[in-house]
Chain A
Amino acid sequence: MKAFDLAIIGAGPAGISAAIEAAALGASVALIEENPVPGGKVFGHMNDHLKDAMPDRFEKRIGSQLLQRLDSVMDRVSVFLESEVWTVWDQWIVAIHQKGTSGDQVRSIRAGKLIISIGAFERIVPFQGWTLPGIFSVGGLNSLTKRGIVPGEKILITGSGPLQLVLAHHLINAGAGIIGMVNAASPQDIAARGLQLLSNMNGSVLASGVNHLFAIKRQRIPTYFSHAISMADGSHQVERVVIVRVDRTGRPIKGTEREIVTDCVAYGYGLIPSCEVTRLCGCNHIFDDQLGYWKVQLSEKMETSKAGVFVAGDCRLVKGYSAAIEEGKIAAVEACVQLGYTNRKTADSMLRASRRRLRRFKRFARAMECISRPGPGLLDIISDDTVICRCEEVTMKDIRSAVAEGAGDVNDIKRRTRLGMGHCQGRFCGQVINELIWKMTGIPQKREIFTARIPVKPVPFGVLAKV
């Protein structure tokens, strides 16, 4: 088994930044990425000739700088591409499922320290018809648009969060037709957080934001504040949707429904951290009541409750690429202190500026996340026929029956209905299942999360048999 000082899981902005810093201090580094290229969702597409489709200058500049710096330390970094971590064994053996032209293989590496930087994914509130082809996550449609692909002519952007603006701007640049923007927040909610946002912005975020807003303003796109998508319909793909006015708590207001004809819908309520690998490692997690998601507990040194396991980037708190780059650096330098490649004094002086910038990014991110978080009343849009678990096609009705039969917690629901047992391993349905049980029983119980199981990502049996 190959051994490294440091294994970094996820080669997005945080992971790449960590690899650069650790390699520069002399550590041997394994950088593991499931995609064919490093860069993550924000910079991963910059490696090829399609990169000119990217309109955001700031993003482009920071991304190319980061990828160039990674190139300059490649002699000290072993990059494993198309490689998924399916489990982590204690102290620390990382099990990798690597795809390749000569077939899949599994291998394991040993690492002195771990940095987990696996990013974030879409926050959802299921609605009837959300599984129809043509309904994309906001991030999913954004990644296509950045690559010059616009899969529709009448595009409706729904949900909440800053990524909506980024997507709208990218679509406008691609010459796409946006027929409307639907936002669950009210203008008052957004204004209330505006000051908090402005006082914590850095130059490039502010410039990007203003740039996006002006581009959207010029297009005179119909905008529906305090509205949410509640239903989608179509025979083989989305053909029309219903949007409804919602009150301050997110509750739909009867009689305010309106139908919109569309062939492409982006849908999502911001992003939430991906915490399945830290859960698998046995790190402590807490539920952040203000932001409405689970997150791993970290020390100031970005270390989890498990000694030697560090976390960086959006898989702790969703903050975007600039903050992820700072966190990657902090986690790597702290890991290198423990490994003996640098000392406390040097580390502190290396990290002073990063720590200061990060504090501001975090305040900004919290305010942004509070705007994105849908109110609890929005769960009222879920009808009996709404699919809650896409993978196993478990509906609200199935959950209702299970609760009536006595299912009392999320793992019990999982055993009875197969909710959360499919390919995505409960990443989407797991976000709402607590609230749905509480709603049905009328009793808010302990907040729970599915037990993280091996493998965290599906691995074919035939591949495992070769271990």
Chain B
Amino acid sequence: MRRVAITGTGVIAPGGNTPGEFFGNLVAGRSQIRKIDGLDFQRLAGPIAAPVSFDGAQYFPAPKLRMLDRVSQFALAAARQALAESGLQLHSVDNDRCGVFMGTGMGGSQTTDDGYRTVYAQQSDRVKPFTVLMAMNNAAAAWIAIEFALTGPCLTYSTACSSSAVAIGEAALRIAHGEVDVMLAGGAEAPLTFGTLKAWEALHTLATPDDLDVSTSCKPFSLDRSGMVLGEGAAVIVLEDWEHAIARGATILAELAGYGLATDTAHLTKPTVAGQAAAMRRALRAARLEPSTIGYINAHGTGTLANDAVETTAIKDVFAQQAAEVPVSATKSMHGHLLGAAGALEFVVALEALRHNHLPPTMHLQKPDPACDLDFVANTARAVSTIDAVMSNSFAFGGTNAVLIARRATI
């Protein structure tokens, strides 16, 4: 098995369109959750979300922009950043050994929404000719492969909220097994459309807006938590065969050390301690690391009643006596839940924590739930002495639990 280096990261995220800006806002504890507006949004019970500040026209010429759903715009912009940071010169690599793995839950939501509005609400037959190509789930990955002429494998994973953690993990395995040398991997999601928000609302997992301050509406691990808040954005990382990265003199940001998968089979939406714990254990085993080496966990931490208590118990199950010592934070309290992009974005958060030895907080945790009794880095970021490894948890409707572990780069 070959080692897997991480040589670039890129994000389009609530609170920042670069990893540095985004992470800076997280450690400052700035929530990006706010009231949002849009066509028909007055029909939503709680029109709040964590939107990104993004103007596609700044990234794409107008004719191309017309072919890109917002989700693909995010993905391409994040991929460009990641590739730029990696310093990889694509003309000097074998493009057949480079590929793209992306994750998304909802694909081109805006396009789907617009298409239905045209045919059903407006009773028009003038559906935009690009509709299928913009809405299809693999559009984002395909556009990245096209832009950079990456002719190796190009796949899209759709396992709901773990989609992009799976995409990164599977990409790392392809490199580890020697099939490819370089992978752009991550996820993108743009679900802040009326139809998608309404469907999530119907699922009764969204947070009740906090009347005093809507930015505090997502309260993971808190006794008064009431659910998740949706966000949007993308995160892409460059994964590279370790020796390939060394040979070209690349700066290695971290090693992708472990990836663990396990499936809950109790119910489509019901998380289990056994499933979450198994995914964490498998990632630790793959990384050949003891739990005590993990210096930070970015929790799945959605702010739903079910997830947070189960995740707390699962972490205790895996980390045993050390569970009380490992800092855990749920940054969804600030950037919201990016669904299919959440795993990749939060893995980037964990990488930034590793890079800066600075742990972002779980915000809005004023009333700790006795059932959630770990060190949640509550309300204030924490500078720490060197940490060696970080874990990012992503658990999903449908039961696919995915855990990624990154280790400080050492030759």
* Pair from one complex: no
Report which A residues bind B (CB closer than 8 A).
none
